[in-house]
Amino acid sequence: MKYGYARVSTTDQKLANQIELLKLAGAEKVFQEKFTGTTTERPEFQKLLQQLNPDDTLIVTKLDRFARNTREALDIIQDLFNREIKVNILNMGLIDNTPTGQLIFTIFSAFAQFERDMIVTRTQEGKAYAKRNDPHFREGRPQTYTDEQMRLAYQLRQQGMTYKMIERKTGISVRTQQRRFKSI
């Protein structure tokens, strides 16, 4: 049987494109999950690995969906080869249990990890530069509501309005009000 595995590393990414590609490649059952790319906790992937039998094929769209670092990739691929399970990485092709197949897989895994490491390094360098040169730099997502909007909502709360009433009037969710009012 052919199994597919689709994973996105952020909640705003979509699985649909990967799932479509996996089905076009012949996946009869697709396991999917949304997790951060660096986490090792992938319950659906673990379920998939347990379900695979000899002569089954595991299909993923790209190497970085399969594993997040070279060591993990090599361990997983070796386990699958030992269990006589085929691996098809759509942008690389079928990885076979031959010395050449293992060499190619090892090289591509190392390059994938190198690329991830470079992205992390560039991101950290960019943030460090911004911290040094931009007095208004703030780490994380920009706030949706200005301090002025929050002060207005807080004044409404002080005047006796409920969180729900303030939400209807300002569009600021109850949870955001509760969280931000703590700092006012």
Could you tell me which of 170, 127, 113 has the C-alpha nearest to residue 146? Answer: 170
Please pick, among 9, 109, 173, 183, the residue that the annotation labels catalytic: 9
Residues 1 and 48: beta-carbon distance below 8 Å: no
Q: Are 41 and 53 in contact (CB under 8 A)?
A: no
**DSSP SS3 for 58:** strand
Does the annotation mark 183 as catalytic? no
Element (H, E) at 88: strand 86-89
101 contacts 92 by C-beta, under 8 angstroms: no
- Residues acting as catalytic residues: 9
